[in-house]
Amino acid sequence: MRLSLFIGLCLFANAVLAAAQPDPFPQVASSYLVELNGEPIWAKQPERRLPPASLTKLMTALLVLEQDHQDDEVTIKPSATHETGTRIGLKAGERFRLQDLLAAALLNSANDACHALADHVDGNEAAFVARMNRRAQALGMQHTHFTNACGHDQAGHYSTANDLSLLAHALLKQSPALDITAQKNLQISTLDGQRHYTLENKNALIGRYNGALGLKTGYTAKAGKCLVAYAKRDGHEVLLVMLHGKDRWWDAVDILDLAFDHARHTP
């Protein structure tokens, strides 16, 4: 009985100490979340609603992959060519493989490719955004609302670090996602072979950080520097969600390194 009481008191003391442990990265972002092997280990305001910029495209990618129509051919509509921000320069009437447009949306963060995917799945962006919000609710993303498919700053377009971790885990269940996001460069072309595009992954960790496999970057004037980073090393997995970060890449490296070090020293 005394031994059980002693063990219980030790466990309680350890829990109190863990809860009192200061945030190891208080200045890196307005909000962030770090998970090690699926369990949160550090966080700062993970429920704070903030604009997610192009991290929005993770939901677009999830919905596209859940349709399981990767062999589809997509004809570009004029609406996609009118997109602003980052684009690869699609032209109305061009035809692409769906998986190539998905790569353009995830690697280059191309808004025209993202919009073309929304048009293809639901006929227009508005209908697709309604699907995005339904799927967010189904995933338990209670503090997320989308108003566009690609991540533009708009009133009512927001998410949280916790919600984006739920989204990231759902996307990681779709094997083609990492096949794309782990690529440093990729070549795509129109189905008639007349135009070619070189895609360069905007995630600076890919090819430079040992174990980095994805998932998505984002930036707008209002959202600041955003990142969902996923890495695997020595049998451990680390997921980092960062909203409105500062020195995004160096901070991500420090956070991932410390998380993997934590894994090595934690039973």
Encode pLDDT of 42-101 as tens digits. Answer: 999 999 999 999 999 999 999 999 998 878 999 999 999 999 999 999 999 999 999 999
Please report whether residue 13 resides in a domain: no
Strands (E) across 190-260 are located at 196-200, 212-220, 224-233, 236-245
The pLDDT assigned to 15 comes to: 37
Please report whether residue 3 resides in a domain: no
Q: What's the pLDDT band for 22 if we cut at 50, 70, 90?
A: low
CA 202 – CA 199 distance, rounded (Å):
9
Q: What's the pLDDT band for 124 if we cut at 50, 70, 90?
A: very high
CA 54 – CA 218 distance, rounded (Å):
4
Q: What's the pLDDT band for 174 if we cut at 50, 70, 90?
A: very high
Two structure tokens written together for 174: 């779709």
Please compute the mean of the pLDDT values over residues 191-211 and round it to a whole number. 96
Task: Assess whether pLDDT exceeds 50 at residue 161.
Answer: yes
Q: Of these residues, 54, 159, 216, 225, which one is catalytic?
A: 54
CATH of the domain at 205: 3.40.710.10
According to DSSP, the residues that pair with 230 across neighbouring strands are: 214, 239
Return the CA Rg of the chain: 20
Please report whether residue 134 resides in a domain: yes
Place of tokens 């208080």: 26
Q: Of these residues, 109, 165, 216, 225, which one is catalytic?
A: 109
Q: Of these residues, 57, 77, 216, 225, which one is catalytic?
A: 57
Please report whether residue 18 resides in a domain: no
* 225 counts as catalytic: no
CA 174 – CA 68 distance, rounded (Å):
10
Task: Assess whether pLDDT exceeds 90 at residue 5.
Answer: no
Task: Assess whether pLDDT exceeds 80 at residue 6.
Answer: no
* The amino acid at 47: E
pTM: 0.90
Please report whether residue 259 resides in a domain: yes
Please report whether residue 90 resides in a domain: yes
Weakest mean pLDDT among 6-10, 33-37, 156-160, 243-247: 6-10
Look up the domain containing 200 and give its range.
27-265
Burial of 252 (0-12, 13-18, 19+ CB in 10 A): buried
Share of the chain above pLDDT 70, in %: 91
Task: Assess whether pLDDT exceeds 60 at residue 7.
Answer: no
Mean pLDDT for the chain overall: 92
pLDDT digits over 216-242, tens only?
A: 999 999 999 999 999 999 999 999 999
Please report whether residue 10 resides in a domain: no
Please report whether residue 125 resides in a domain: yes
Looking at the 3D structure of the chain, how many domains does it have? 1
Please compute the mean of the pLDDT values over residues 8-16 and round it to a whole number. 38
The values of phi and psi at residue 166, to 5°, are: -60, -45
Give residue 45's region: left, alpha or beta (phi > 0; psi -120 to 50): left
Please compute the mean of the pLDDT values over residues 193-202 and round it to a whole number. 96
Strand 73-75 relative to strand 39-44, pairing: unpaired
The pLDDT assigned to 266 comes to: 77
Secondary structure class of 218 (helix, strand, coil): strand
* 54 counts as catalytic: yes
Task: Assess whether pLDDT exceeds 90 at residue 212.
Answer: yes
| Nearest by Cα to 116 from 108, 130, 107, 128 | 128
* The amino acid at 244: H
CA 136 – CA 147 distance, rounded (Å):
12
Give residue 29's region: left, alpha or beta (phi > 0; psi -120 to 50): beta
| C-beta of residue 84 within 8 angstroms of C-beta of residue 107 | no
CA 136 – CA 138 distance, rounded (Å):
5
Q: What's the pLDDT band for 267 if we cut at 50, 70, 90?
A: low
Task: Assess whether pLDDT exceeds 80 at residue 12.
Answer: no
